[in-house]
């Protein structure tokens, strides 16, 4: 609730600010308000920053303006005093907010937003009776809006923004995590904080439709404007929060399991990874209830299945000894959650809506050595409850392990889930080529909506007649370049890197899904699958220094790991409209192969020089090329003027390998890169326990300069052995924390 301020207070608060403020009539005169949604309302315009303004239409009760209730998505509830409070009818009024001007008119209710120089950014018109918001669609793609739904450019579609696996075409597009953050790639973005509703982008004027006129107020919109995409992403992080860093091991390969035969099978499968030297960090076990024999006794239970885990701690200890992490599937059956893990849960009464009661059920198993959780379902949860659940799995583990970063893989969430280090996967998708194809733009839009740690069930959850070794390998290649690198699905033994050469697809679990099928037996004796999986497993682990540095950049700036080409090439219309390829970090372009039997792949290379990662061939961009591919090749390109750190092959992320770090320089322009490192598990980096090596390449004089980043320090091992590579030349150097120059 906000107190009605008098004229003197308002003038004092806004002294020196060049804005238009409309005040209530003097004492003794009747106060008039704007009619909106059947209520008396007040318009507030607030300057959040130079690039972001807040537009709110708030109901007024007994001369007191009602505030906006928190749903947990924003990092704070107050964004400062309004630059303008508007009551009553106004013909036109110009209000300056940061780097923008707003031309306001009350009949009809219109907000024309321009730059300070008068260039139109957006125009919003709001129907006073229905609350429908109309705005300019524009001539450039509209991106964002969360996971799932019609792809890639949202223009031309209508989206009910329904959450969950029933949201939109589950088989191909996966579960829907709708987030009303839309990016106009011409230089603006909007977050519809309140209310929730439907978007219609089918006309020259797009529309936002509240669920009903009764829910139209309060209306709360954050509008962002900048020609720089990085600024737009930074402003969204300002509003909804920066991503927390999950543990390093969560970026290694994760192997998921379904129906388990025995304790011996659990341990033998883990041993096979190590014997075959196939890199893997995490073993994930599904719960009984979704399969005949999982880790627990039934859905929602935290009692171990004694048929396969007769001595849970003993088995966990053995898996830990072989350097595996263990994550368990969990289901919360409540349709509403509230509170935090620190609230009192007064047993024996179990409050099904209280987060602390639910977390208490996890703690006994967590104490045995469980490393992470896989919270499933949650479709009926409202926005606030979804975020309560995300928060619970971040803060709950820290009650018992306060200096250990938690891991949780969610199926549901909302804006702000990144503050809890949440991973997200796309749900129970089908094993089809169309699914793989659609998931490239889904990945991009999810990342643009502030959800950086995302992935899929590699191979698709529901096997179909299209599920072949070829489809699995193409999906595996794509998965190696998603933050979540995890294989899961029915016919689960075909999700093992060696599973396509045993003749055994695993237990038959294809009931309840139309079109489900087990692959033909002719597909199940293919020795090439393991060889190609090994290639991409080893590449993923070699790229961990680069990936983890991108994770750090994401956590500090809001820039995603999987990046739309728009983020780097906003002035290139072809790049902006490209939804079938993406940047991995800032320097590597990834073009997954998504067509059956493909022997070539069309790739658009933006202007500038590029290097084929596999052949090191230099190619000039600004054009579309056709790259020849075989089954083991997914096109990867590194931009000229890039520094790419590559580590040694590891079997797990924390393995100590006595080999130097390779620093590859791709000439053709100046380059800079911050190589980030911490212990990968604790929060000590918040206390300065991290190492950053700032690398700067001067192309003209062929010199690389290395220095310790401000605020960081050398970590063990000290000194650091590096191999700096430029085309065919290599320099072996030692970095001890002092500035170092390497010349070619």
- Nearest C-alpha neighbor of 58 from the set 71, 48, 67: 67
110-128 burial: b if 16+ Cβ within 10 Å, else e: bbbbbeeeeeebbebbbbb
Residue 24 pLDDT greater than 90, yes or no: no
Q: Is 389 exposed, middle or buried (0-12, 13-18, 19+ CB in 10 A)?
A: buried
Q: Which fold has domain 249-551?
A: TIM Barrel (3.20.20)
| Inter-CA distances, 450 with 230, 239, 425, Å | 12, 11, 14
The more confident residue out of 333 and 71 is: 71
Vertex 711 angle, CA 710 and 717, to 5°: 95
**Average pLDDT of 531-537?**
98
The more confident residue out of 2 and 520 is: 520
Q: Any idea which of 270-274, 282-286, 333-337 has the lowest mean pLDDT?
A: 333-337
User: Residue 31: what pLDDT?
Assistant: 62
Q: Model confidence over 346-396: pLDDT tens digits? A: 767 788 899 999 999 999 999 999 999 999 999 999 999 999 999 999 999
Strand (E) positions, 98-137?
100-106, 109-115, 120-126, 133-136
Q: Any idea which of 191-200, 515-524, 604-613 has the lowest mean pLDDT?
A: 515-524
Q: What mean pLDDT value characterizes the chain?
A: 93
User: Residue 7: what pLDDT?
Assistant: 34
Residue 587 pLDDT greater than 70, yes or no: yes
Residue in the block written with tokens 């090191």: 616
Q: Model confidence over 455-478: pLDDT tens digits? A: 999 999 999 999 999 999 999 999
User: Check: CATH 2.60.40.1180 for 660-743?
Assistant: yes
Domain with CATH 2.60.40.1180 in the chain: 560-639, 660-743
- At 5, is the pLDDT very low, low, confident or very high (cuts 50, 70, 90)? very low
Residue 22 pLDDT greater than 50, yes or no: no
Domain with CATH 3.20.20.80 in the chain: 249-551
The pTM for the full model equals 0.94
- Rounded Cα distance, 595 and 643, in Å: 31
- Nearest C-alpha neighbor of 505 from the set 682, 685, 258: 258
The CATH class given to the 7-227 domain equals mainly beta
Q: Which CATH superfamily is domain 560-639 in?
A: Golgi alpha-mannosidase II (2.60.40.1180)
Residues 6+ apart with CB under 8 A from 493: 499, 502, 504, 505, 506
Residue 268 pLDDT greater than 90, yes or no: yes
The more confident residue out of 38 and 95 is: 95
Q: What is the DSSP string of 154-195?
A: -TT-EE----BTTSS-HHHH--BEEEEEEEETTTEEEEEEES
Q: Model confidence over 143-154: pLDDT tens digits? A: 999 999 999 999
- At 12, is the pLDDT very low, low, confident or very high (cuts 50, 70, 90)? very low
Residue 73 pLDDT greater than 80, yes or no: yes
Q: Model confidence over 108-159: pLDDT tens digits? A: 899 999 999 999 999 999 999 999 999 999 999 999 999 999 999 999 999 9
Residues 6+ apart with CB under 8 A from 476: 458, 459, 487, 532, 533, 536
- Rounded Cα distance, 616 and 134, in Å: 49
Residue 553 pLDDT greater than 50, yes or no: yes
In the numeric block, which tokens belong to residue 482?
């998603």
User: Residue 19: what pLDDT?
Assistant: 38
Peptide bond into 717 cis (omega under 30): yes
User: Residue 711: what pLDDT?
Assistant: 95
Give the 3-state secondary structure of residue 533: helix
Domain with CATH 2.60.40.1760 in the chain: 7-227
User: Residue 615: what pLDDT?
Assistant: 97
């Amino acid at each position: 609730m906000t107190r009605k301020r008098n004229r003197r207070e308002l003038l004092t608060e806004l002294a020196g600010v060049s804005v238009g403020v409309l005040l209530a009539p003097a004492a003794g005169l009747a106060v008039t308000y704007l009619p909106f949604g059947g209520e008396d309302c007040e318009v507030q315009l607030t300057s959040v920053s130079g690039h972001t303004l807040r537009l709110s239409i708030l109901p007024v009760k007994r001369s007191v303006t009602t505030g906006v209730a928190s749903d947990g998505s924003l990092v704070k509830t107050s964004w400062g005093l309004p630059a303008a409070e508007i009551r009553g009818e106004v013909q036109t009024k110009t209000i300056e907010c940061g780097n923008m001007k707003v031309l306001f008119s009350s009949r009809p209710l219109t907000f024309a937003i321009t730059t300070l120089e008068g260039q139109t950014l957006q125009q919003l018109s709001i129907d006073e009776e229905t609350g429908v918001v109309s705005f300019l669609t524009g001539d450039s793609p509209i991106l964002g809006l969360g996971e799932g739904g019609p792809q890639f450019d949202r223009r031309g579609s209508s989206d009910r923004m329904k959450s969950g696996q029933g949201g939109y075409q589950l088989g191909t597009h996966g579960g829907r995590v709708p987030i009303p953050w839309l990016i106009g790639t011409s230089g603006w973005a909007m977050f519809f904080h309140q209310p929730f509703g439907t978007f219609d982008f089918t006309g020259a004027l797009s529309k936002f439709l509240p669920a009903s006129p009764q829910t139209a107020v309060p209306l709360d919109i954050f509008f962002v404007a900048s020609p720089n995409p990085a600024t737009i992403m930074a402003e969204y992080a300002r509003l909804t929060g920066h991503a927390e860093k999950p543990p390093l091991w969560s970026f290694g390969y994760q192997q998921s399991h379904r129906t388990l035969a025995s304790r011996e099978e659990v341990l033998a499968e883990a041993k096979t990874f190590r014997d075959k030297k196939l890199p893997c960090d995490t073993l994930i076990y599904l719960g009984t209830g979704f399969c005949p024999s999982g880790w627990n006794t039934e859905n929602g239970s935290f009692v171990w299945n004694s048929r396969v885990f007769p001595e849970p701690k003993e088995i966990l200890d053995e898996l830990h000894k072989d350097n595996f992490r263990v994550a368990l599937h969990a289901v919360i059956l409540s349709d509403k959650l509230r509170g935090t893990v620190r609230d009192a849960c007064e047993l024996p009464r179990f409050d099904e809506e209280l987060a602390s009661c639910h977390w208490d059920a996890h703690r006994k198993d967590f104490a045995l050595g469980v490393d992470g959780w896989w919270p499933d379902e949650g479709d009926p949860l409202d926005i606030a409850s979804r975020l309560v659940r995300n928060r619970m799995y971040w803060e709950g583990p820290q009650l018992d392990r306060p200096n250990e970063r938690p891991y949780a893989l969610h199926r549901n969430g909302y804006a702000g889930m990144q503050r809890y280090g949440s991973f997200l996967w796309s749900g129970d998708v089908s094993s089809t080529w169309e699914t793989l194809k659609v998931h490239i733009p889904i990945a991009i839009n999810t990342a643009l909506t502030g959800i950086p740690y995302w992935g899929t069930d590699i191979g698709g959850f529901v096997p179909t007649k299209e599920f072949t070794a070829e489809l699995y390998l193409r999906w595996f290649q794509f998965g190696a370049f998603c933050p979540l690198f995890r294989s899961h699905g029915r016919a689960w033994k075909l999700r093992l890197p060696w599973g396509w050469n045993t003749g055994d697809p695993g237990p038959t679990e294809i009931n309840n899904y139309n079109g489900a099928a087990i692959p033909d037996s002719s597909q199940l004796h293919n020795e090439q699958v393991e060889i190609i999986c090994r290639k991409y497993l080893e590449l993923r682990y070699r790229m961990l220094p680069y990936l983890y540095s991108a994770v750090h950049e994401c956590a500090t700036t809001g820039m995603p790991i999987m990046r739309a080409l728009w983020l780097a090439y906003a002035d290139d219309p072809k790049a902006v409209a490209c939804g079938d390829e993406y940047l991995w970090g800032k320097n590597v372009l990834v073009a997954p192969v998504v067509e059956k039997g493909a022997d070539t792949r069309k790739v658009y290379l933006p202007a500038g020089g590029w290097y084929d990662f596999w052949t090191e061939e230099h190619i000039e961009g600004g054009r579309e090329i056709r790259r020849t591919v075989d089954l083991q090749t997914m096109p990867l390109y590194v931009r000229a003027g890039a520094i790419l750190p590559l580590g040694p092959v590891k079997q797990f992320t924390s393995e100590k390998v006595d080999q130097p770090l390779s620093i590859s320089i791709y000439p053709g322009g100046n380059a800079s890169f911050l190589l980030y490192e911490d212990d990968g598990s604790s929060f000590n980096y918040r206390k300065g326990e991290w190492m950053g090596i700032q690398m700067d390449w001067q192309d003209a004089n062929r010199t690389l300069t290395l220095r310790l980043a401000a605020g960081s320090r050398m970590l063990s091992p000290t000194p650091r052995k590096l191999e700096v590579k430029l085309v065919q030349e290599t320099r072996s150097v030692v970095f001890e924390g002092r500035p170092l120059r390497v010349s070619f």
